[in-house]
């Protein structure tokens, strides 16, 4: 993967994550959840069978930042193709679907690993869909 392709993928992914957080902030019911979520995530975007573009997401005191590369001190590491993460974020793919089905490279669509201190942090993994998945729109009442 060329450097320009890596940069474009990072910019696109960053834009998607930022727009999801912004969209969730529009609903005051999400404020407490977004402000209380504290995590440092490494996310491997699998673009080829043996290549991952690593990005990191840090959530602290209601502020979310996405950076390039892996964090040395992190709470959870997840790996997925960009397409699968987009399907997950849009609500098209459920967490169960992501954990059980395989991607185009033959790996699980969403894989996760322990934190840098060896803890599994299942709580963060379970809260992740509430943060990264767009809210479903309800049809207007007539």
pTM, entire model: 0.88
Contact between residue 86 and residue 28 where contact means Cβ atoms under 8 Å apart: no
72 CB-contact burial (10 Å; exposed 0-12 / middle 13-18 / buried 19+):
exposed
Query: Which has more confidence, 137 or 127?
Result: 127
If DSSP codes are grouped into helix, strand and coil, which group holds residue 27? coil
Q: What is the CATH number of domain 3-132?
A: 3.30.1050.10
Whether 26 has a pLDDT exceeding 80, the answer reads: yes
Domain ranges of the chain: 3-132
Segment 54-100, tens digit of pLDDT: 999 999 999 999 999 999 999 999 999 999 998 898 889 988 999 99
């Amino acid at each position: 993967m060329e450097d320009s392709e890596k940069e474009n993928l990072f910019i696109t992914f960053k834009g998607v994550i930022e727009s999801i957080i912004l969209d969730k902030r529009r609903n005051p019911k999400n404020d407490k959840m977004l402000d209380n979520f504290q995590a440092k995530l490494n996310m491997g975007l699998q673009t080829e069978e043996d290549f991952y573009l690593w990005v990191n997401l840090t959530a602290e005191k209601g502020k979310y930042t996405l950076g390039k590369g892996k964090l040395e001190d992190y709470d959870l590491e997840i790996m997925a193709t960009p397409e699968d993460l987009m399907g997950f974020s849009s609500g098209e793919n459920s967490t169960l679907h992501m954990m059980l089905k395989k991607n185009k490279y033959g790996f699980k669509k969403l894989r996760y690993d322990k934190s840098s201190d060896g803890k599994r942090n299942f709580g963060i993994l379970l809260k992740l869909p509430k943060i990264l998945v767009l809210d479903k729109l309800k049809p207007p009442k007539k």
